Amino acid sequence: LSHLVQLGRPVTVVSRNRCALPSWAMGPGARPVRWLTTPMPLPDSRTLGASVGRWATWTRTIAKLLWRRLVAAFVTHRQPPTLAIHNAFPVPGTYTHRLFHRAPRRMLIVHSAPDVVMSFLRRSRSLTLAGVVADLERTDALAFVSPQVRDAWAATADIARIPQWILPNTCREDAAAALVDANRRQLRERLDLPPDAFLAACVGYVGEGKGQDVLVEALPSMVRTTPNVLVMVVGNDRSGFAAQLRGRIETLQLAGRVRFMGQRPDPYALIRAADLLVHPSRSEGQGLVILEAMLLGTPILASDVGGIPSCITHGESGWLVRPNDPRALADAFDRLAPDAALRDRLSRRAAEVYAERFSQREYAKRFEAMFRHFGF
């Protein structure tokens, strides 16, 4: 959104909440952003009956209908946008889906491979694989966060004729600027973290897809070789997965070795304070936290899955292991933890790769190239 604003074109954002744009985005040429916030799901007439049944009281139902009328007045009866960009897949039956398909030109930004979408579909009735494929095939342009995500969808949907770009994620460099050179010991004191522990940060939502259970199974070996190890699990819990992890940790009698920190407003500080980022994900479109660790100078141990190899070269800018393999993860940790020089070499090269390929400067070049296609 910040880079879109920088192009100087009028932008309306349809979202459940607003976000603060960085100061650099509001420089010369930037135009004010119009926000349409949607604090509750917005059904169309086809799902009205089901919607009424879902709400517990008539008061909430009436409020929802009034909100629907407000959004309809803004969206349905206005001139469609010149270009509609949808971040991820639009959910059928919502106004964002209707708005997306009313636009004369449409772009999807795709973050997840089909296996991640299929996992989501098993938990939700709001999307179908056929609907996702149809949206991919009907759009005018596709941006994928990694070549691996693009190739996975190319094998699933007929998208060869559609213009495509690789648009890797980038980081909030303004938020990281004060931390890149921060002294780790001083940072730990500010964050109330043990100054002499070997801190391993595992950052991301807590769920099966992120593989924290693989890390837990590797923990006994990690403790034997690095007795002062402390694992920070940072992220929002999904479906009570953290409770399962805590139970297993207690069974292993390692409760003091893991600190569940929940969703935090300062993840960059925690990543910078860590000696190692451990990311045992089972599937990953690209892995934003990988880029964040690269930027912040924290060495990386991650699964060799999805788009992660598009960021990390094993043994050069990070360390990659087979996914879903606690033994492989433990062996890699045992290789990295005692070798500070190796970790330093990996993190320095990773920071160089970030600057060369994933910085906001490089992102802006790719972003502008996409919009030149639309004459934007």
- Summarised one tens digit per residue, pLDDT across range 106-150 is 999 999 888 877 776 666 666 788 888 999 999 999 999 999 999
Q: Using DSSP, state whether 318 is helix, strand or coil.
A: strand
Q: Which of 21-25, 97-101, 190-194, 209-213 has the lowest mean pLDDT?
A: 21-25
Contact 156, 113 (CB under 8 A): no
Q: Determine the Cα–Cα distance for residues 192 and 293; give it in Å rounded to an integer.
A: 20
Q: Using DSSP, state whether 60 is helix, strand or coil.
A: helix
Contact 145, 338 (CB under 8 A): no
Contacts of 163 (CB under 8 A, 6+ apart): 140, 141, 142, 373
Please report the pLDDT score of residue 345 as a whole number: 98
Judge whether residue 42 has pLDDT over 60: no
> For a pLDDT cut of 70, what percent of the chain falls above it?
85
Confidence of residue 45 (pLDDT cuts 50, 70, 90): very low
In what helix (H) or strand (E) does residue 191 lie, and over which residues does it extend?
helix 184-191
Judge whether residue 351 has pLDDT over 50: yes
Please report the pLDDT score of residue 75 as a whole number: 53
Judge whether residue 164 has pLDDT over 90: yes
Judge whether residue 14 has pLDDT over 90: no
Confidence of residue 212 (pLDDT cuts 50, 70, 90): very high
Q: Which pair of structure tokens corresponds to residue 340?
A: 């500070």
Q: Determine the Cα–Cα distance for residues 315 and 375; give it in Å rounded to an integer.
A: 42
Greater pLDDT, 71 or 282: 282
Please report the pLDDT score of residue 61 as a whole number: 60
Q: What is the CA radius of gyration of the chain?
A: 22
In the chain, what's the furthest Cα-to-Cα distance? 65
Which of 21-25, 75-79, 103-107, 118-122 has the highest average model confidence (pLDDT)?
A: 103-107
Query: Position 334: which residue type?
Result: D
> Mean pLDDT throughout 251-274?
95
> Mean pLDDT throughout 269-291?
95
> Mean pLDDT throughout 55-76?
56
Please report the pLDDT score of residue 52 as a whole number: 45
Q: Determine the Cα–Cα distance for residues 271 and 371; give it in Å rounded to an integer.
A: 33
Confidence of residue 63 (pLDDT cuts 50, 70, 90): low
> Mean pLDDT throughout 365-372?
86
Q: Which of 27-36, 164-173, 310-319, 355-364 has the lowest mean pLDDT?
A: 27-36
Confidence of residue 76 (pLDDT cuts 50, 70, 90): very low
CA-to-CA dists, residue 179 to 40, 186, 194, angstroms = 36, 11, 18
Q: Which of 21-30, 142-151, 226-235 has the lowest mean pLDDT?
A: 21-30
* Closest CA relative to residue 138, chosen from 101, 166, 179: 101
Q: Which of 57-71, 117-131, 180-194, 361-375 has the lowest mean pLDDT?
A: 57-71
**Average pLDDT of the chain?**
86
